[in-house]
Amino acid sequence: MNDRREPRHRIRARQTDSTLTVYQAYRPEIGGPAARTGRFPSSWKRDRMTWIKPSFLWMMYRCGWGTKEGQETVLAVEISREGFCWALRHACLTHHVPALHGDRADYARRLRQAPARVQWDPERDLRLAALPHRSLQLGLAGEAAARYADEWIVGIEDVTPLATEVHARVKAGELAAAARLLPEERPFEVDAEVLAPLRA
């Protein structure tokens, strides 16, 4: 995790040949039914952008190990690689980069039309301190959110107990034991031309 040779932009995820796992955190009224049924309940807002994160530790940073209000249930959502790649191909960076996007007005138009958005934030270590390399977050709206909910999901698991256990080991100073509990996240291979317009 602290390897200085780590590229600044790289997607890392728990994965199989056909799927990868992303993380989200919700209030129990949404997270509980989602984990039990493998689908988001009707109270899940389809008209809002939903952010998925392949990094377990970045999710822990975002939700405070499942202690923040409204983020008490941490979900591991297994989705199809095909769906994730579709989202990347239809995504736009969340901020304007002149070298990539040219005119700001053109970029603003592309951003409004894109069903997915990419943001890179510093990856986190076990103490949730920022690392030099970046972690991808993928925002899904409109068509992308609908595809995510209805087509891409293979399974949903409540990993709040895992978050609690890892956090307890970290607080106890047992970092090696905490690290052994983490999901194995390997580099996710995607065509270079897909990521090229999303690195900045």
Q: How much is the pLDDT for 20?
A: 97
User: How does residue 186 score in pLDDT terms, banded at 50, 70 and 90?
Assistant: very high
pLDDT at 144 over 70: yes
**8 Å CB contact between 77 and 140:** no
Q: Hey, how many other C-beta atoms are within 10 angstroms of the C-beta on 165? A: 15
Q: How much is the pLDDT for 4?
A: 58
Determine which of 58-62, 162-166, 195-199 has the lowest per-residue pLDDT on average: 195-199
Strand partners, 184: none
pLDDT in tens, 79-105: 999 999 999 999 988 876 766 767 777
Work out whether the CA dihedral 148, 150, 152, 154 comes out positive or negative. positive
Amino acid identity for residue 25 in this structure: A
Give the mean pLDDT of the chain.
92
pTM for the full predicted model: 0.92
What value does the mean pLDDT take over residues 162-188?
Answer: 98
**8 Å CB contact between 3 and 54:** no
- Between residues 109 and 38, which one has the greater pLDDT? 38
Tell me how far apart the alpha carbons of residues 111 and 106 are, in angstroms, rounded to a whole number: 9
Percent of the chain residues topping a pLDDT of 90: 76
CA count, 13 A, side-chain hemisphere, 125: 10
CA angle 194, 53, 20 (to 5 degrees): 70
- Between residues 114 and 62, which one has the greater pLDDT? 62
Task: Fill in the DSSP letter of residue 148.
Answer: I
